[in-house]
Structure formats: structure tokens, C-alpha cells
Amino acid sequence: MAIRTRVTDLFGVTYPIIQAGMVWCSGHRLASAVSNAGGLGLIGAGSMKPELLAEHIRACRMETERPFGVNIPLIRGDVESLVATALDEGVRILFTSAGNPGLHVQKIKDAGAIMVHVVASVKHALKAEQVGVDAVVAEGFEAGGHNGLDEITTLCLVPQVVDAVRIPIIAAGGIADGRGMAAAMALGASGVQVGTRFAATMESSAHAAYKQAVVDAGDSATVLTLKPLTPVRLIRNRFAAEALQAERSGAAPESLRELLGSKRERRGIFEGDLEEGELEAGQSSGLVHSILPAAQVVAGMVAEFRAVAAELAMLGSGIPA
Amino acid sequence: MAIRTRVTDLFGVTYPIIQAGMVWCSGHRLASAVSNAGGLGLIGAGSMKPELLAEHIRACRMETERPFGVNIPLIRGDVESLVATALDEGVRILFTSAGNPGLHVQKIKDAGAIMVHVVASVKHALKAEQVGVDAVVAEGFEAGGHNGLDEITTLCLVPQVVDAVRIPIIAAGGIADGRGMAAAMALGASGVQVGTRFAATMESSAHAAYKQAVVDAGDSATVLTLKPLTPVRLIRNRFAAEALQAERSGAAPESLRELLGSKRERRGIFEGDLEEGELEAGQSSGLVHSILPAAQVVAGMVAEFRAVAAELAMLGSGIPA
């Protein structure tokens, strides 16, 4: 039985659960597994060159007949080429983040594709709506990876975005189970985007050591750092401690950039270097206790959502918890 | 019709809505108004000497026959005297925060009173349960005023505390309406503690200018600062900008303490100095659009909670949103 919202109608999927595009985690295997389970899988182009993205799109189409999409970070130097590749390969759902959606919306809409942009404030949600995107992801402070400057949490951001725009809203940041999904929908979201929980699935292309680090993480395991560059949430390790220390002692952006160096994300997430790599993950890591097949994550979220919704309704009707 | 949970059973109230103890906001007028409306009002002892606390308790008892409580920050130098005053005056519900609950639990339990402690991490929730408190408030990063060190948001903290302890859990941080209340209960909380929304009510003893600043605040209006001392969330103003600037340039705790000086909270919240005062408030300020009677806040939250719960249940049953 479907859970039907404006978001499932927009994408043509069964459940309003979207798997976030995540560097080094979400290739065709993860995206197709989520789409086959009734959610919306996204191929994360963040760690791919255009040719590799094309290969993943083709592979994904072999693995599922259901809708899937591509996530493209707009800060990429080759963003034009990535967008063109996705459209040329027939992708009709594009998620964009970290940049100005207005520069790309015309081309995407002209191709008949749906465009969804990730925002971290009401201001950016309004701007995205104004330029013509079809939906926004409202992503809170607890989310893993790159993060907004205003540090607004999902619980506070989602209802304010709901009150401000008319297009459908997808909540992101801190959602790893059916409880979080029900909470997000209670706030007015028409769907949820889930990253960290899917990063630690069988089909995620992340290194086994990274997945285990997510499983081992407790509630206080992640931290938002590198704020003078681009704020990023990651699991605390030697690299994170150095970055925090530099930040606290007032280091200039240049010296932080030097400390960061290059390929830290690859080292942490894909190569499994738990000390010197960037282990991007959300606060919801503390809610992830095992590495599961993606389909089991989707089914578990849906079942728990239904149970929680029924319990809340009983409470609302005066039946004791 | 009541909304009955473990928390309403514990306190003997009609709705699982607790008004947070807030310095310079929550005297007897606010506490009795919330209790008369079916929630649990708390007199915030944070800005009171023992004699003044006793006066407020007596006045509150004149104004309501329903249960009310007192909130005592355990970092106060005269904490023993405040606890003794509350118990001597017959208060049987004590909320404590910012300190070690184990030092006070015996005396409070011996007096036959209920003790609830505010925590910001799973570790502190487990410790509070172990020493024998009756319930915990799990308070997230988005909350106003003094804040935890781990920056865990309400959405991520509450379900992890729910999974870790057996005592009832009250969610706090970011909750200002029935949507937030439903979200918190979906996460497994048995009640909510609400600060900022009640700080901007008619019965709040805060200055009119402070209440208006909460109403005027947008989603990005607050910031967590003074982290090397005690992290505190406040509305951005001249003082907040100076504190942030000092923090970013790596200022030592001593110079931050000097910058803070004394009576900043009083200046901002009670005297309404919008530039040099400390305007403690949560991220949910962005959800507060008018100064209302406290009873209307309670009734509005309850009605919205019921509506949201019913909608979620329909979604869960396959009925489109």
C-alpha cells in the first residue's frame, strides 16, 4: 500500500523516501536498489566525472524500470557538462545543491525534467521557488556533509519553509528511521531525503570501514567544522580534531584549505582511512546500528511510519499512550 | 479531552505541554496561566533569590489549584537554598538543569517530590536515570539560552534518548506549535517542553521589546555563541556580534567572561536593551508571529497536534495527503 503525497505524485514513486546523493556512496547500485524498493534513488554525481556519470545512469537503467534521479552539486567546475550528461542520458529528475539554481533551471525545464534544489534557509527556499524549481529539500544542521551557514535544524527549518513556499517540501537532516520520517511529515514535509542511513547499506559504494564507523557512532560522534570554508559535518577523527583546533585558534581560510588538502572525502569514505580521511556523516549516525540492504531500510521506515502515525492518532483521540 | 501520556500521568496534568523555566520570563503569572490551561507551568528560579522564589510560589498557588513546578539551575551558588525553599513551600515538581542531579536527588525524593533533569546527550540521560530522577528533558541544539556541548539536535537526540532510558522523556528545543509537538511525540517523547513560544506571551514577565524581538525574528535570527564559556543561544544583536567575533578570533575564556560582564540577561530580557543585552531565545523564534495569552498557546498547540496526528494516520493508511 502506497503512502501518497505531493512528492510521490511528482516523481511517480510509491513511498516519499528519497535516498540522498552522497559522494562515494551512491552509485547505480544504491540508487537502483532504493528505486526498486519503492523510494527514489539518486546517483550522486559529486564524485563523478561526466563519463562516469553516464556509465552509472546506463547501469541504473539496466537495474530498475522505476524512476531514479541524479544529484549534482552546482559548485562543480564542470557542472554544465554534468547537467548536459544527465539530460542527454534521459534522466528526468535532477536534484541540485550548493549553488545558484537559477543558472540551470531553464535548461532542465526545457528538457522536460523535474528540478529539485536543496536549501538550508527560508530565504533560499523562496529564491528557488521564484526561479521555478519544482520542489525543495529543506536540509537541517544535523545533516552530514556540506551544510548551511545559518545552522537551522530540521525541526525548525521545515515548518518555516512549509509556511513560506507553495511547492512541495522534502525534509532532510537527521532522518534515519520511521520515527524521523513521521516527525518530518508532522512538520508539513511531503517526503524525506535520507543520507547517512543509506550510506551504511550493502549497496552503498563506501568502504566497509566507513560504514562500520557510521554504525559505531554514538549521538555525539559528529561535528560541524571547516566553517570558514564550507561547513561540513563529519565523524570526529584525527583530521576533524585538527580542523577544529585550527578553527578554534582563529586560522585563516587559506590555512584551513591547506590543512584540508585534496581527496579527503575519497580517502575517508571510499578508501576507509578512518584517521586522515573526511568521514562525512550526519548526526543520525547514532540511530544506525547495522548495515542492511537498502530495500530493508525502505520497508522498515514505511512500517515504522505507519505504526507511529497510528499511535499519534490514538493519542490525539484521547486514547492513552 | 485529555492527551494522556506517561508525562501527564506523572504530573497530573491534562496535556503533555510543559512551559520551560526561563530567566526573567517565567514567574507566577506565566506558570499559573499555563497550569490553568491544562499544561504544566514552571516558575523559573534562575533569576530569583530564595525569598523571591518563595513569594512566586505562594502567588502561583493563589492563582491555580492545578499542579505547577519550579525550575532550578544547579550551577547557582545558592542551589541548596533554592531547593530547600521550593520543598519547604510545598512544591512537589522540581525541574533541574545545568549541573549534577545526583547531588540533589535524595533530598528531593525524600520530600516526596518528582525530579526531572534536563539533558543534552544520551550519556547524561543515562546518568540521570541511574541516580534516580523520574524523567528527563532531552533538549536539542535549537533551544534558547544555555545549551549542551555536543550540539545534538532535538530530532536526533530524542529518539536516541528514548532508545537508551526507560523513564519518560520530554522533548525540548525547537517546539513552538502543534506540528513540533506532533513531531516530538512521533520521535517517542511523552511530552514537550516549550520555552520561546511562552516567553512571548502576555503573561511572560519579559520586557515588551524582548517579546517583540522574538516575534520579529526569522529563521536565521539566533546564534549559539560563548562556546568556550557555556554555549548560549540568543537573538543576534550588537552584543552577540561582539561575542561571535571574539570567539572566532580565538579569544580566551577570560576575555569572553570580561566581555559578557554581569546582568546581560536581565538587560536584554527584562529591561529590553536590544543592542547590549543577552536576548536568549531558541530557533523556534521564527515560528512565533504574535504575542498571545498563554492559554491560547496551549489550546492552539493541542488543536494543531490533533489535526496533524489525524492527517498522518490517514497518510499511513494509504489515503493521499
- In this predicted complex, what is the ipTM? 0.97
Amino acid at A63: E
Q: Which pLDDT tens digit goes with each residue over A90-127?
A: 999 999 998 999 999 999 999 999 999 999 999 999 99
Chain B: closest CA distance from residue A151 (Å)? 8
Residue A321 has pLDDT above 80, yes or no: no
Q: Phi and psi (nearest 5°) for A254?
A: -60, -45
- 3-state secondary structure labels for all residues of chain A: CCCCCHHHHHHCCCCCEEECCCCCCCCHHHHHHHHHCCCEEEEEHHHCCHHHHHHHHHHHHHHCCCCEEEEEECCCCCHHHHHHHHHHCCCCEEEEECCCHHHCHHHHHHCCCEEEEEECCHHHHHHHHHHCCCEEEEECCCCCEECCCCCCCHHHHHHHHHHHCCCCEEEECCCCCHHHHHHHHHCCCCEEEECHHHHCECCCCCCHHHHHHHHHCCCCCEEEECCCCCCEEEECCHHHHHHHHHHHCCCCHHHHHHHHCCCHHHHHHHCCCCCCCCCECCHHHHHCCCCECHHHHHHHHHHHHHHHHHHHHHHHCCCCC
Asked whether the beta carbons of residue A155 and residue B141 sit closer than 8 angstroms, the reply is no
pLDDT of residue A223: 98
pLDDT band at A285 (very low <50, low <70, confident <90, very high): very high
Identify the residue among B155, B163, B185, B314 best suited for mutation to test binding to A, counting A beta carbons within 10 A and taking the highest. Answer: B155
| CA triple A58-A64-A69, angle to 5 deg | 65
* d(C-alpha A89, C-alpha B257), whole Å: 59
pLDDT of residue A231: 96
Contacts of A305 in chain B (CB under 8 A): 316
CA B233 to chain centre: 12
The answer to whether B290 contacts chain A (CB < 8 Å) is no
Asked whether the beta carbons of residue A156 and residue B309 sit closer than 8 angstroms, the reply is no
Q: What is the sign, positive or negative, of the torsion defined by CA atoms of B113, B201, B220, B45?
A: negative
Q: What is the sign, positive or negative, of the torsion defined by CA atoms of A253, A258, A259, A263?
A: positive
Chain B: closest CA distance from residue A231 (Å)? 14
* d(C-alpha B286, C-alpha B296), whole Å: 18
Contacts of B139 in chain A (CB under 8 A): none
Average pLDDT along chain B: 97
* d(C-alpha B22, C-alpha B46), whole Å: 7
Asked whether the beta carbons of residue A174 and residue B160 sit closer than 8 angstroms, the reply is no
pLDDT of residue A237: 98
User: Is the Cβ–Cβ distance between A111 and A87 less than 8 Å?
Assistant: yes
The answer to whether B121 contacts chain A (CB < 8 Å) is yes
Asked whether the beta carbons of residue A321 and residue B4 sit closer than 8 angstroms, the reply is yes
Asked whether the beta carbons of residue A186 and residue B186 sit closer than 8 angstroms, the reply is yes
Chain B: closest CA distance from residue A254 (Å)? 15
Average pLDDT score over residue span B130-138: 98
Amino acid at A137: V
pLDDT band at A249 (very low <50, low <70, confident <90, very high): confident
User: Is the Cβ–Cβ distance between A52 and A23 less than 8 Å?
Assistant: no
Asked whether the beta carbons of residue A153 and residue B174 sit closer than 8 angstroms, the reply is yes
* Closest of B176, B164, B173 to residue B141, by C-alpha: B173
Packing angle, helices B178-186 and A178-186, rounded to 10: 170
Chain B: closest CA distance from residue A12 (Å)? 14
Asked whether the beta carbons of residue A121 and residue B182 sit closer than 8 angstroms, the reply is no
Residue B48: all three cell numbers together: 530569583
* Closest of A297, A148, A289, A154 to residue A221, by C-alpha: A289
Residue B321 has pLDDT above 80, yes or no: no
Q: Phi and psi (nearest 5°) for A245?
A: -60, -45
Asked whether the beta carbons of residue A123 and residue B183 sit closer than 8 angstroms, the reply is no
Average pLDDT score over residue span B43-67: 97
Q: What is the sign, positive or negative, of the torsion defined by CA atoms of B155, B161, B167, B173?
A: negative
* d(C-alpha B231, C-alpha B227), whole Å: 4
The answer to whether A303 contacts chain B (CB < 8 Å) is no
With 0-12 / 13-18 / 19 or more C-beta atoms within 10 angstroms meaning exposed / middle / buried, residue B100 is middle
β-strands A68-73, B41-44 pairing: unpaired
Q: Phi and psi (nearest 5°) for A71?
A: -105, 130
pLDDT of residue B259: 92
The answer to whether B315 contacts chain A (CB < 8 Å) is yes
- B254 contact partners, CB below 8 Å, separation of at least 6: none
Q: What is the sign, positive or negative, of the torsion defined by CA atoms of B91, B95, B100, B102?
A: positive
Average pLDDT score over residue span B47-52: 96
3-state secondary structure (DSSP) of residue B145: strand
pLDDT of residue A204: 98
pLDDT of residue B250: 84
Per-window interface: A 167-206 vs B, CB < 8 A: 173-175, 177, 179-180, 182-188, 190
- How many Cα atoms are found within 13 Å in the side-chain-facing hemisphere of B298? 26
Contacts of A197 in chain B (CB under 8 A): none
Asked whether the beta carbons of residue B152 and residue A177 sit closer than 8 angstroms, the reply is no
* Closest of A305, A284, A70 to residue A198, by C-alpha: A284
Q: Which pLDDT tens digit goes with each residue over A203-223?
A: 999 999 999 999 999 999 999
Burial readout B226-261 (b: 16 or more C-beta within 10 A, e: otherwise): bbbeebbbbbebebbeebbebbeeebeeeebeebbe
Asked whether the beta carbons of residue B313 and residue A315 sit closer than 8 angstroms, the reply is no
Contacts of B173 in chain A (CB under 8 A): 153, 155
Amino acid at A220: S
Q: Which pLDDT tens digit goes with each residue over B151-207?
A: 999 999 999 999 999 999 999 999 999 999 999 999 999 999 999 999 999 999 999
Which of B183, B310, B313 is closest, CB to CB, to A183?
Answer: B183
The answer to whether A58 contacts chain B (CB < 8 Å) is no
The answer to whether B224 contacts chain A (CB < 8 Å) is yes
Which of B186, B286, B321 is closest, CB to CB, to A312?
Answer: B186
Radius of gyration over alpha carbons of chain A, in Å? 19
Q: Phi and psi (nearest 5°) for A232?
A: -140, 135
pLDDT of residue A189: 98
pLDDT of residue B249: 86
Structural domains of chain B, with CATH = 14-206+285-315 (3.20.20.70), 218-283 (no CATH)
Identify the residue among A7, A119, A156 best suited for mutation to test binding to B, counting B beta carbons within 10 A and taking the highest. Answer: A156
* d(C-alpha B123, C-alpha B100), whole Å: 13
The answer to whether B240 contacts chain A (CB < 8 Å) is no
pLDDT band at A248 (very low <50, low <70, confident <90, very high): confident
* d(C-alpha B142, C-alpha B320), whole Å: 32
Residue A60: all three cell numbers together: 541504473
Contacts of A240 in chain B (CB under 8 A): none
With 0-12 / 13-18 / 19 or more C-beta atoms within 10 angstroms meaning exposed / middle / buried, residue A126 is middle
* d(C-alpha A212, C-alpha A217), whole Å: 9
* Closest of B193, B192, B243 to residue B222, by C-alpha: B243
The answer to whether B225 contacts chain A (CB < 8 Å) is no
Chain B: closest CA distance from residue A275 (Å)? 20
CA A186 to chain centre: 20
pLDDT band at B320 (very low <50, low <70, confident <90, very high): confident
Contacts of A317 in chain B (CB under 8 A): 1, 306
Q: Which pLDDT tens digit goes with each residue over B300-318?
A: 999 999 999 999 999 999 8
Asked whether the beta carbons of residue A177 and residue B183 sit closer than 8 angstroms, the reply is no
Average pLDDT score over residue span A129-133: 98
pLDDT of residue A152: 98
* Closest of B7, B307, B309 to residue A182, by C-alpha: B309
User: Is the Cβ–Cβ distance between A150 and A224 less than 8 Å?
Assistant: no
User: Is the Cβ–Cβ distance between B67 and B93 less than 8 Å?
Assistant: yes
* d(C-alpha A106, C-alpha A213), whole Å: 41
Asked whether the beta carbons of residue A121 and residue B5 sit closer than 8 angstroms, the reply is no
pLDDT of residue A250: 83
Chain A: closest CA distance from residue B266 (Å)? 26
The answer to whether B305 contacts chain A (CB < 8 Å) is yes
Residue B215: all three cell numbers together: 516575534
